[in-house]
Amino acid sequence: MFALLGIAVGCAAVTALLNIGHSAANEATDTFKRLGTNTLVVSFSPLSGSVGPSAVAPDWKALTVELTEIEYVAPVVMHSARIRHAGRDTDVSIVGTTQDLAPVMGLRADRGHLLSDFDRCSTYVVVGAGVARGLALELGSRLQVAGYLLEVIGILANQPFNPLLPVDVDESVFLPIEGIRRMRPAPGIGNVIVQAHDTADLAQTASTLKRYLDHASRGYQVDVQVPRQLLEALSRQANTFAYLLAGVGGIALLVGGVGVMNVMLMGVRERRREIGVRMALGARASDIRNLFLAEAAGLCLSGSTLGAIGGLLFA
């Protein structure tokens, strides 16, 4: 009975660990795929001593012209606010951005349509799926934010949070970047999400972009992150982790195997009398051997099946 438990636990551990390792690796790859392979994330943070809002207000469209490797540029201004609708209120992030955010982050409208450059000075917003669900928003609903009424023109499809991007799509309200001034008197651009052309060398693009932005925004620290490099590092780490798990699993199985052997030896010792009786009844030596082998095999098989099921459930 104890051997059965030992094997079951061993197998459960191995299965669970392998599964966890596998799903971790999968998750990393998924994130990678959702993101697109050519995304760069720029973040601005004020250097100590610098005053005033971000001087960064360049013509973002111009960036795609000056840096030919870049396909889309989406500046992002984040603002936390409490919004009300039909007597309910909730805290969301208000994201001021441009129409380029949609292709960069892969946003899709579930209902209505996305922001376009023609909405620049309007009070139209597009809301994430989570916000829409939480406040029971429909197309045409009017959100109340800090004294303004914003009209919902689109509701986004569900999109899981990607830790490599600054925006949590489901819990955000998107409005044209010009409109963010209604919320904050002097908004600074926090992030720029950039998508390079497929053929671009990302590292090269990142450094060019950093040089360009450093020049354009004095007084600000500019960081350019390349999610692909992060993910590659992550997946290397996941590989190391998988080797470690395989090692642990192997040791667990070895211990389980030794346990079975032990139990079988104990069984033979304890059941000498039974063996004698069976011999007296006409069992051949091979019959006795088969009996014990069958029991050991049954033990291993049921233990490992139980363990595998347990491991799958756990993982």
Partner 1 sequence: MAGISEGLILIELDRVCQSYYRNGIQQQILQEVSLSVARGESCAIVGSSGSGKSTLLNILGLLDRPLSGRFLLDGVDISHSTADACADLRNRLIGFVFQGFNLLPRLSVLDNVALPLLYRGCPRVEARQRAICQLERIGLAERFAYRPTELSGGQCQRVAIARALVGEPALILADEPTGNLDNTTAQDIMDLLLQLNECDGVTLVMVTHDKGLASQLGRQLLVRDGRVVELELCRQGATSNA
Q: Which residues bind partner 1 (CB under 8 A)?
A: 273-274, 276-287
Asked if residue 158 lies in contact with residue 106, where contact means CB atoms within 8 angstroms, the answer is no
Residue 201 CA, distance from chain mean position:
25
Minimum gap (Å) between residue 271 Cβ and partner 1: 9
Both structure tokens of 287: 């019959």
Annotate 132-157 with three-state secondary structure.
Answer: HHHHCCCCCCEEEECCEEEEEEEEEC
Look at residue 236 and give its three-state secondary structure: helix
Minimum gap (Å) between residue 282 Cβ and partner 1: 2
Look at residue 139 and give its three-state secondary structure: coil
Both structure tokens of 241: 């982790």
Asked if residue 41 lies in contact with residue 230, where contact means CB atoms within 8 angstroms, the answer is no
Look at residue 295 and give its three-state secondary structure: helix
Of 247 and 276, which has the nearer Cβ to partner 1?
Answer: 276
Token look-up 């392998």 returns 18
Look at residue 89 and give its three-state secondary structure: strand
Minimum gap (Å) between residue 274 Cβ and partner 1: 6
Within 10 A of 37 (CB to CB), how many other CB atoms are there? Answer: 13
195 Cβ contact partners less than 8 Å away, ≥ 6 residues apart: 36, 38, 39, 40, 70, 71, 72, 73, 103, 104
Of 258 and 266, which has the nearer Cβ to partner 1?
Answer: 266
Minimum gap (Å) between residue 242 Cβ and partner 1: 43
Minimum gap (Å) between residue 3 Cβ and partner 1: 17
* Dihedral sign (CA 103, 42, 118, 92): positive
Of 120 and 278, which has the nearer Cβ to partner 1?
Answer: 278
Both structure tokens of 197: 């052309």
At residue 134, what is the residue type?
Answer: G
Minimum gap (Å) between residue 298 Cβ and partner 1: 14
Minimum gap (Å) between residue 295 Cβ and partner 1: 11
